[in-house]
Amino acid sequence: MNAITSSSQRKVHVPLGERAYDILIGSGLIARAGAEIASRLKGRKAAIITDEHVAPLYLEALVNSLEGSGIMSAQLVLPAGERTKSFEHLMTACDKILEARVERNDYVIALGGGVIGDLAGFAAGIVRRGVRFVQVPTSLLSQVDSSVGGKTGINSRHGKNLIGVYHQPDLVLADTDVLNSLSEREFRAGYAEVAKYGLIDKPDFFAWLETNWSAVFAGGSARIEAIATSCQAKSDVVVADERENGPRALLNLGHTFGHALEAATAYESARLVHGEGVSIGMVLAHEFSARMNLASPDDAKRVEKHLKEVGLPTRMSDIPGALPPAEKLLDAMAQDKKVKNGKFTFILTHGIGRSFIADDVPASEVLAFLKQKQPQ
């Protein structure tokens, strides 16, 4: 870690020059949000964007914390769920920010999970050609992944996250207390992104998770350690390749398969949520790597064993309801932003913690693999 303040709070610094920012991880950060923001940023007005699930739990505490530090806020509560990442709700968010008279030195605060963070960040990036932005992520997935790195956006009928901008936050406050209110399913979905960092290039971290995952689920120092390690891993990649022209694409391990499965279920959370799609996608990526003689089948079995042990889905047959034919899944992958010039780019692996970017993967191989893996 770049800095350690105590065993109950960690700080990860993202050194992006003039766009550098801190990620604070620990207990009680929503109650201290006003003080943390006021000590770093000049503005004294904020527009808080949240959703109807999070607002009853944490909005009042955040507003009070801001007011205690002399920061006045307007609030917008949107519907919860992936379908909120739409042009309609983006326009609503932009109107609220302008109505609140948020200027370029003021800020938008995203209080919620990945959907709210992506939408609010996109709005902050385009209103007045960019206003300051603070992330207060309330899900494990958003704390370890979507709140860090500046990727914002909404979905299109053509696919997930296809419309957006890069807009780095000015501060991330990851209050680990809020994770206690998550359902087991939500926490498990976020854990898939934690495991991803080990599978990309940190085999020792993946081995640590295999041994300590139950302590991470229980909370305390193991949870803070896992989140901080994940944030540092993402920070390192973002600093090396902020706009995904090279190694940042490694963060998409499992996502090309996963996004196609999400699209195939019409983003119905009752059937599949993002982290579950990533879990299945990571197993598929390791199995496809083995099919291409790039890695041992034993690695794919090890990945599946661990993800299944923590309660995550690992196969397409674990998704309730029927899936479209393999050809339709391939079409969804072709719309994915990991495709360049019509050629498939996958994140594949030579083994645990040895992921790499594979260009020009033959569509025929992918189609044959999907047909093999589809539920019969």
Active-site choice (89, 96, 167, 248): 248
What sign does the CA torsion over 266, 269, 272, 276 have? positive
Give, in degrees to the nearest 5, the angle at Cα 72 between 50 and 64: 70
Instruction: Tell whether 202 is in a known binding site.
Output: no
Instruction: Tell whether 286 is in a known binding site.
Output: no
Based on the residue annotation, tell me whether 252 is a catalytic residue of this protein.
yes
Based on the residue annotation, tell me whether 286 is a catalytic residue of this protein.
no
Based on the residue annotation, tell me whether 315 is a catalytic residue of this protein.
no
Instruction: Tell whether 49 is in a known binding site.
Output: no
Active-site choice (151, 167, 188, 302): 151
Active-site choice (82, 186, 193, 276): 193
Helix (H, G, I), strand (E, B) or coil at 228: helix
What sign does the CA torsion over 266, 267, 268, 271 have? positive
Tokens standing for residue 230: 């994940």
Active-site choice (85, 255, 286, 373): 255
Based on the residue annotation, tell me whether 13 is a catalytic residue of this protein.
no
Active-site choice (96, 188, 274, 302): 274
Based on the residue annotation, tell me whether 52 is a catalytic residue of this protein.
no
Active-site choice (202, 234, 291, 373): 234
Active-site choice (10, 259, 302, 373): 259
Tokens standing for residue 225: 């350690």
Instruction: Tell whether 275 is in a known binding site.
Output: no
- Please state, in angstroms and rounded to a whole number, the distance separating the CA atoms of residues 258 and 256: 5
Instruction: Tell whether 117 is in a known binding site.
Output: yes
Instruction: Tell whether 12 is in a known binding site.
Output: no
Instruction: Tell whether 298 is in a known binding site.
Output: no
Instruction: Tell whether 116 is in a known binding site.
Output: yes
Instruction: Tell whether 306 is in a known binding site.
Output: no
Active-site choice (18, 42, 129, 245): 129
Active-site choice (36, 186, 244, 304): 244
Instruction: Tell whether 115 is in a known binding site.
Output: yes
- Output DSSP code: residue 53: T
Instruction: Tell whether 331 is in a known binding site.
Output: no
Tokens standing for residue 211: 């041994």
Q: How many alpha carbons fall within 13 Å on the CB side of residue 249?
A: 18
Based on the residue annotation, tell me whether 243 is a catalytic residue of this protein.
no
Active-site choice (252, 276, 306, 373): 252
Of 71, 70, 118, 76, the C-alpha closest to 97 is: 76
Of 137, 110, 111, 145, the C-alpha closest to 226 is: 145
Instruction: Tell whether 23 is in a known binding site.
Output: no
How much is the CA Rg of the chain, to the nearest whole Å?
A: 20
Of 109, 183, 107, 169, the C-alpha closest to 139 is: 183
Binding-site members for Zn(2+) are 193, 255, 274
Binding-site members for NAD(+) are 114-118, 138-139, 151, 160
Binding-site members are 114-118, 138-139, 151, 160, 193, 255, 274
Residues marked active site are found at 129, 151, 193, 234, 244, 248, 252, 255, 259, 274
